[in-house]
Amino acid sequence: MRDFALWLATTSPSVFIQEHNTWAIPAIQSVHIVGIAMVTGSVLMITLRILGLTWTDQTLRQTTNRFGPWLNGSLWLLLVTGVLMVIGEPVRELVTFSFWAKMTLVGIGTIVAVIFQRSLRRHERHWDEQFLHRGAIKLMAVGTLLVWMAIIFLGRLIAYDHVWGSWSPAVNQ
C-alpha cells in the first residue's frame, strides 16, 4: 500500500493538488464536511422517524422520500471529494489504520442505506405496519447512526493516526 501511495503521489492529478495544496486541500475538505453535515442531518432524521420521535405526521416512506435523494447525493459528493483527498495526499491517507477502519464502516453504512431504501420501496406497508414496531429495527437504526458518528471520528483521526499506537502503519515503518 505504501508503494501504491508513493506511486500515486507522482501522478499528475496528485502533483497538481500538491502544488496548489494551500487552497486545494482545505477547499476539498470543506466541501467534504458540507457533505458530512448533509449525511448526518438525513440519517439523523430518518433514524428519529424510525424511533417514532419526529416526523410522526409522515409515514416512513414519506420521510425517506424527503431525505433519501439528499442522502444518496451527499454520499456521492463524499466519494468524489474523498477520492480527491486520497489523490492529493496518498501517503497521509492510505498508510493509516484510521483510513481503512473508516472505509470498512463506510462500506457497512452504505450497504445498510441501500438495502434499507430498497426494502422500503418493496415492502412499504410491512415497514409502516410491522417493522417500525420491532425493537430490533429500532436498535439497528440507532446502530447505523452510531456507525456514521464513528466514521466522522475515524475521518478526523486520519490526521492523528499515532493514537492507535502499534496498529498504525504510519508509526510502524
Partner 1 sequence: MDSSLNWLQNTSVAIHIRDSLLLFPLLESTHVIGLAIVVGTVVIIDLRLLGLATTHRAFSRLGADTLPWTLGGFAVAAVTGALMFTTNATVYFHNTWFRAKVLMLALAALNAIVFELTARRTLGDWDLRRSTPPMARTVAAISLVIWVGVIVAGRMIGFTATRASVNQTTPQEPNFEDLLGLPK
Binding positions for partner 1, rule: CB under 8 A? 22, 25-27, 29-30, 33-34, 36-42, 44-45, 48, 54-55, 57-58, 66, 70, 149, 152-153, 155-157, 159-160, 162-163, 170, 173
CB 36, min distance to partner 1, A: 5
For partner 1, the closer of residues 3 and 136 by Cβ is 3
* 54: CB partners within 8 A, 6+ apart: 45, 48
Question: Nearer to partner 1 by C-beta: 17 or 130?
Answer: 17
SS3 at position 137 = helix
Which of 10, 22 has the CB closer to partner 1?
A: 22
**Least Å from the CB of residue 67 to partner 1:** 8
Q: Nearest approach, Cβ of 44 to partner 1 (angstroms)?
A: 7
The least CB distance from residue 155 to partner 1, in Å, is 8
Classify burial at 80, counting beta carbons within 10 Å of its beta carbon; exposed 0-12, middle 13-18, buried 19 or more.
middle
Would you say 111 and 6 are in contact if contact means Cβ atoms under 8 Å apart? no
Closest CA to 44 of 170, 146, 157, 151: 146
Do 162 and 170 touch, CB atoms closer than 8 A? yes
Q: Who's near 6: CB < 8 A, 6+ residues apart? A: 90, 91
- With respect to partner 1, which residue has the nearer C-beta, 120 or 170? 170
